[in-house]
Structure 1
Amino acid sequence: MTGGRGADRAADRAAVEAANTAFYAAMEEGDFDRLEDLWLDDGGTEISCVHPGWPVLTGRGEVLRSYALIMAHTDYIQFFLTDVRTSIGGDTALVTCTENILSGGPAEDGAELGPLVGQLVVATNTFRRTPEGWRIWSHHASPVIAGPDDDTPPAATADDAGPAA
């Protein structure tokens, strides 16, 4: 017996990774229609998104509105993805990665582009298989505040300690 299951897994992995790449490409290109098409829309499953520093957004309206706002207020954005890992279980896939983001806002004093800012963010993108292909079910991104050699968790504060004994 040749091919079969292993070939299916490889094809699924390639399709999920292509969908993940398309998500970031749509953001870079400011292609809202393409971005909207990449999100799950099965009429019953609620999608969710957490942008760095934002509360949880749920439902197509809230999630897509957030991307429209980001695109409207970002003149330039580029993602350099590193540490990409893909895991697939049945009709669900998880992609974790580090987003090395370079972005620029509105130009000042007649310049072509505003100041560029770099940001390091870790993200988890959850996909679901649909008849149209893999679609994003959830995106969760958090800023990286620890250095690469810092393996010590942040110090607990009094608020984190819980009730006194």
Structure 2
Amino acid sequence: MLLTVEDIEGRLSTKFSAFNGELDDLKLLRPTEPVLGIEQMEKQLGIQLPEDFLSFIMAYNIDNLSLGRVAFGCGKSYPSFIIEMNQYNGFNHWWLGDNRPEGIVVIAISDPYTILLNTLDKRVYAMTSESTMDEFELVATNFNLFIRALGSLFLNTATVDEIRKEVGADSRTEFWQIMAV
């Protein structure tokens, strides 16, 4: 059974509180000020975020969060990170061709995966640098299940097989096995 987000928050706080703030990027921390730029991000990228993802980024400061092997931000505003990762700049983009696939955005990165959220079907996918545009791996049927699975795996409260089943992951995906290493 997957931990709740609140359980993950508490367990991470307990686990890393002894480090006096040095490992705060490994904890789910509440923001100290309102998250700004979400509406601008949605407008600029032509998307509408699913409610579970929107609620999560409003409830937690993920500007520099790493949960297990997955990094959600890079130290700056998370909405700015999302824009930068998903905007065509003529050189560096994760998709093939000139146009980003409709409704799909990068929300996090990991080695060797890029984590994608399909804002239309609300599913979470993963791709590697070798993936083609139609080889995305379904890793969770929604963001809430994804974050709960990621936290449960990191905190060793669920097995890879349990997670695959609970999140509705594609049975051929190696994502959860790699995240467990």
TM-score of the superposed pair, with normalisation by structure 1: 0.28
Could you say which structure has the larger radius of gyration?
Answer: 1
The structure with the largest strand share of the pair is: 1
